[in-house]
Amino acid sequence: MNRCVIAGAADIADYERIRGKLREDDFFIYCDGGLKHMAGLERTPGLIVGDFDSAQDPHLDVETIVLPCEKDDTDTVYAVKEAVKRGYEEFLLIGVCGGRLDHTLGNVSILLYLDSIGKKAAILDDHSEMELISGQTVRVEDRYLYFSLLNISGCAEGITIRNAKYPLEEGTIRSEYQYGISNEVLPGKTAEISVKKGNLLLIKIDRE
């Protein structure tokens, strides 16, 4: 099935960068204030979701789910769960980082939720790409300026990093001590990262 792209309301400065990562067959869900990105992304929605507390319902000829303002799930979380119910296996979240830190952290945790149910997911912003490493080996090309590994859930063990400035064998990263920040892929190499137990947030930085 096609990938589901979910657009939130956080600012996007470089639409060209984001558009370069999109696919022709992506299914788009715009969440409330995320509708401000529709022109810049040059993609029409397949679904609109929101309580419309930060944007007006545009009343487009598009399926729209109007949510109550008082609820447990944010508009973005609701959109993700709705896409899961519709059978999507791969997700890209944009416009979900920046501005309010509480929303940013909540949106990053969506990667944990999607990983827990076996879905592939990433977050893309103006500076970086984020994904969760959980069991599989992930590769990072040397075109990235830096990459960081952050523990956002429990304890990650059996961490191996190869072909990087700061290699690691069978390491452990706990959430209270984040020493995996600002590593670099060796020139001409591809870094390989694996985690045997737990998971890590991989942030690949391709611009300052």
DSSP 44-79: --SEEEE--SSS-----SS-EEEPPSS-SS-HHHHH
pLDDT in tens, 180-202: 999 999 999 999 999 999 999 99
User: pLDDT at position 68, please?
Assistant: 83
User: pLDDT at position 81, please?
Assistant: 97
Strand arrangement of the beta sheet that strand 120-124 belongs to? 64-66, 47-50, 27-31, 4-7, 90-94, 120-124, 128-133, 200-205, 146-150
Domain 133-205 classified CATH 2.60.120.320? yes
pLDDT in tens, 126-160: 999 999 999 889 999 999 999 999 999 889 999 99
**What is the spatial distance between Cα 152 and Cα 59, in angstroms, rounded to a whole number?**
38
**What is the spatial distance between Cα 37 and Cα 34, in angstroms, rounded to a whole number?**
6
Domain 4-126 classified CATH 3.20.20.140? no
User: pLDDT at position 124, please?
Assistant: 97
* pTM for the whole structure: 0.92
For residue 87, what pLDDT band results from cuts at 50, 70 and 90? very high
For residue 23, what pLDDT band results from cuts at 50, 70 and 90? very high
Residue spans per domain, the chain = 4-126, 133-205
What is the percent of the chain where pLDDT is above 90? 80
Please state the rounded mean pLDDT for residues 108-125: 96
Single-letter code of the amino acid located at 152: I
Please state the rounded mean pLDDT for residues 94-113: 92
